[in-house]
Amino acid sequence: MYTSYERATYRANPLISALRPIPDSDRAAAKRLILKPKFDESEREHDTQLRIGYLTQLRNFFVPSLEHLDVYQTLAAEIMAGYETRNPLTPEGQAMLYGTAAPGHSAQSSARISVVTGLSGMGKSALVSRILAAIGELTIRHTSFQGIPFPETQLLYLRRNIPHRCTPKDLCASFGSAADLALAIPKYASMFARGNANTRQLLQALRTIIVNHHVGCLILDEFQNLRLVGIGADAVISMLINLCDEFQIPIFIVGTYATFDLAQRSPDLARRIGHRFYDMARPKSADSQSWQDLCATVWKNQWVKDPKPFDSKYSDALYQCSQGVTGIMLSIFEAAQIIAMRDKGDDRESVTEKTIAQAYEQRGKAVRPLIEILKANDPRLVSNYEALYAMNLNPTASQDVTPRRVSIPKLGGIDVAQLDPTVPKRRARSGADKAAAAPDSIGGRVVDDVATPTEVLDALG
């Protein structure tokens, strides 16, 4: 059950030893993150209705890029760093466990807040899910460690979506419910039922969960929903900063580009994020190597009877219909296969440029307004894209989300407008920037595009 690490402090820590070791190469990391549909070429001979049903497998698809690998390495390293200071078998860890550690002790600066951002449909939440699965199990039940009794239940993470009407109490209560679900016992949700509990009492109740179950990190998805809360968002952000500082637990924020608008409201949050943000940018054009590699990998998963060999003209057509948004591309590719199966004008079942265009025209009514916004190349329209995506493609989205224009904020001295949400690109960093950021991240690579190298994909098969 336990990994024997070379580093002594890791090897002597049951919380770290219970995790899967960080891969020693990009290729190994990519193999751990990749998720492919269950596909067998023989299924192309099955009945049409069955094959149409098989197409839902395309929704179980994830191909990691270099940017994804950076996020993986950072998330894993942050969790391990947090556990290193909270080893329950050390005096320092015991002091934190029993609440006797003095505020502002030596581990004060160890916990970090990191951000994963990008357009809806770029697979941010899927990325986090794949990374968490690669790091370890959510619920880890210990009995003994290195001959020492250790009957503890460890929770690797608590992950919640920010609700559309969020207060500190709502957020804490959602973490209590998440803990109960992970533990499979109704134990903590009731702690947040008191109507008159103040923020300090809520934090103490949440501390009980974090400490009792050695929670590795907190993950907050759909963070942009805080913008619907108004001034109440400040209270939630302040609570997150307190959690990070007082409980020495890393926090990972996942959201759309509106997350930067929220961070601008809190200098403390912006300062803690600094350069620890990851932009899941869409490819700049159909010529992007990352896009070509992704489409070539997706193209192999066809249930039509006469699949065409991959050609760049098909990736070009898919880009025109999706503007590089992975989720939209996969839905168009699925629809194109259905059209090929049902509308066999020449008695052949093939996905071609024509069927891709038909899928976009016939089945992409909800998509076309989004694509027009992206084609406009206007960063100020990004909130309209998010609102339409939420209303048309996300059935759980709040109806309170309405199109509007947004200001382009700055975060940690970085002009977010330079990210250009409609034509995203990585921010180039100087050697001094990279050196300054080194203690805060593990990957440290700077790439011109969020590329998935061909050699990585070839290694994955």
In a domain, 256, yes or no: yes
Structural domain including 291 reads 284-404
Q: What does each of the 461 residues of the chain score in pLDDT, given as a tens digit?
A: 899 999 999 999 999 999 998 898 999 999 999 998 999 999 999 999 999 999 999 988 899 988 899 999 999 999 999 899 889 999 888 887 776 655 444 444 467 888 999 999 999 999 999 999 999 999 999 999 999 999 999 999 999 998 777 888 888 899 999 999 999 999 999 888 877 778 888 888 998 999 999 999 999 999 888 877 666 788 888 888 888 887 788 999 999 888 877 777 777 787 777 667 889 989 989 999 989 999 999 999 999 999 999 999 999 999 999 999 999 999 999 999 999 999 865 567 999 999 999 999 987 778 888 898 888 877 777 778 887 887 766 544 433 333 333 333 343 343 434 443 443 333 333 333 333 333 333 233 333 333 343 444 444 44
The domain boundary residue, chosen from 389, 404, 419: 404
**Token digits for 58?**
């395309």
Candidates 73, 138, 139, 83; CA nearest to 111 is 83
Q: Which pLDDT score is estimated for 291?
A: 93
In a domain, 57, yes or no: no
Q: Which pLDDT score is estimated for 344?
A: 67
User: How many alpha carbons lie under 13 Å from residue 386 in its C-beta half-sphere?
Assistant: 28
Does pTM surpass 0.85? no
Q: Tell me: do 225 and 330 sit in the same domain.
A: no
> In the 8-state DSSP scheme, what is residue 348?
-
Q: Tell me: do 288 and 383 sit in the same domain.
A: yes
Q: Which pLDDT score is estimated for 127?
A: 95
Q: Which pLDDT score is estimated for 199?
A: 80
Q: Tell me: do 258 and 318 sit in the same domain.
A: no
- For residue 41, count CB atoms less than 10 angstroms from its CB and return exposed for 0-12, middle for 13-18, buried for 19 or more: exposed
Q: Tell me: do 101 and 195 sit in the same domain.
A: yes
In a domain, 396, yes or no: yes
Q: Tell me: do 227 and 375 sit in the same domain.
A: no
Q: Tell me: do 231 and 315 sit in the same domain.
A: no
Q: Tell me: do 275 and 290 sit in the same domain.
A: no
**Token digits for 436?**
């300054």
In a domain, 417, yes or no: no
**Token digits for 77?**
């390293």
Q: Tell me: do 263 and 242 sit in the same domain.
A: yes
Question: Helix (H, G, I), strand (E, B), or coil: what is residue 139?
Answer: strand
Q: Tell me: do 121 and 243 sit in the same domain.
A: yes
Q: How many domains are contained in the chain?
A: 2
**Token digits for 179?**
């803990």
The domain boundary residue, chosen from 279, 310, 345: 279
Task: Round to whole Å and give the CA distance between 370 and 402.
Answer: 14
In a domain, 306, yes or no: yes
Bridge partners of 252, per DSSP, are 114, 219
User: How many alpha carbons lie under 13 Å from residue 220 in its C-beta half-sphere?
Assistant: 29
CATH number at residue 236: 3.40.50.300
Question: Helix (H, G, I), strand (E, B), or coil: what is residue 33?
Answer: helix
Bridge partners of 35, per DSSP, are 62
Q: Which pLDDT score is estimated for 319?
A: 96
In a domain, 389, yes or no: yes
SS3 assignment for 262-320 = HHHCCHHHHHHHCCCEEECCCCCCCCCHHHHHHHHHHHCCCCCCCCCCCCHHHHHHHHH
- Rounded to the nearest 5 degrees, what angle is found at the Cα of 131, between the Cα atoms of 379 and 289? 50
In a domain, 38, yes or no: no
The domain boundary residue, chosen from 279, 309, 341: 279
**Token digits for 285?**
């054009």
In a domain, 420, yes or no: no
CB 137 within 8 A of CB 156: yes
Q: Tell me: do 334 and 351 sit in the same domain.
A: yes
Q: Which pLDDT score is estimated for 237?
A: 85
Bridge partners of 145, per DSSP, are 148
CB 74 within 8 A of CB 334: no
Q: Tell me: do 242 and 348 sit in the same domain.
A: no
Specify the DSSP element, H or E, that contains 187: none
Candidates 209, 217, 230, 223; CA nearest to 269 is 223
Q: Tell me: do 291 and 267 sit in the same domain.
A: no
